[in-house]
Amino acid sequence: MIMASELVKLTVQLVSSHASISELTSAELVEELKAVYQTIAGLEAAQSEAGALAEGLEPKEAPPLKPAVPIEESVKDDHITCLVCGKKFRTLKAHLRRAHQMSPADYYKAFGLDPKKYSLVSKNYSEQRKTLAKKMGLGELRRRKKA
């Protein structure tokens, strides 16, 4: 098992190697540090879980994540707040993949959310896309075939 200080050292080595051949802004550097750290920590957790399975032990259930904002306050008409980092978006799916390496299913599981009741798209954005699709005539062909 890697100690936290060793994990930080590995992260810094990897990111500094990448930064030496790429131009990164300070914000990009910070995001890359976070992403690499989370990835290494996740790989280590998966490895220890695989070892436990190989030894016939039950894997440890990952502790649920603590939301950055209260869940009931994360959904607004004009934005959805990411429960991992607290940033506001019109849609979360791409952000979750890029910034947190999470699938929507992982996100729902991490916070105990029901996919049928918790949307990853803000209400206003969904309505805008619906209106645009209707203006473009999307779905008309199917409707005509049914008639």
What residues form DSSP beta bridges with 88?
81
**pTM score, whole prediction:** 0.54
CATH code that applies to domain 63-147: 1.10.10.1550
> Which bin fits 76, alpha (ψ -120 to 50), beta or left (φ > 0)?
beta
User: Which sequence spans correspond to the domains of the chain?
Assistant: 1-61, 63-147
pLDDT in tens, 55-108: 665 545 556 678 888 999 999 999 999 999 999 999 999 999 988 899 999 999
CA dist., res. 20 & res. 104, Å (int): 33
Report CA 100 to chain centroid distance, whole Å.
4
Instruction: Provide the pLDDT for residue 51.
Output: 61
Judged against a pLDDT cut of 80, whether residue 126 lies above it is answered with yes
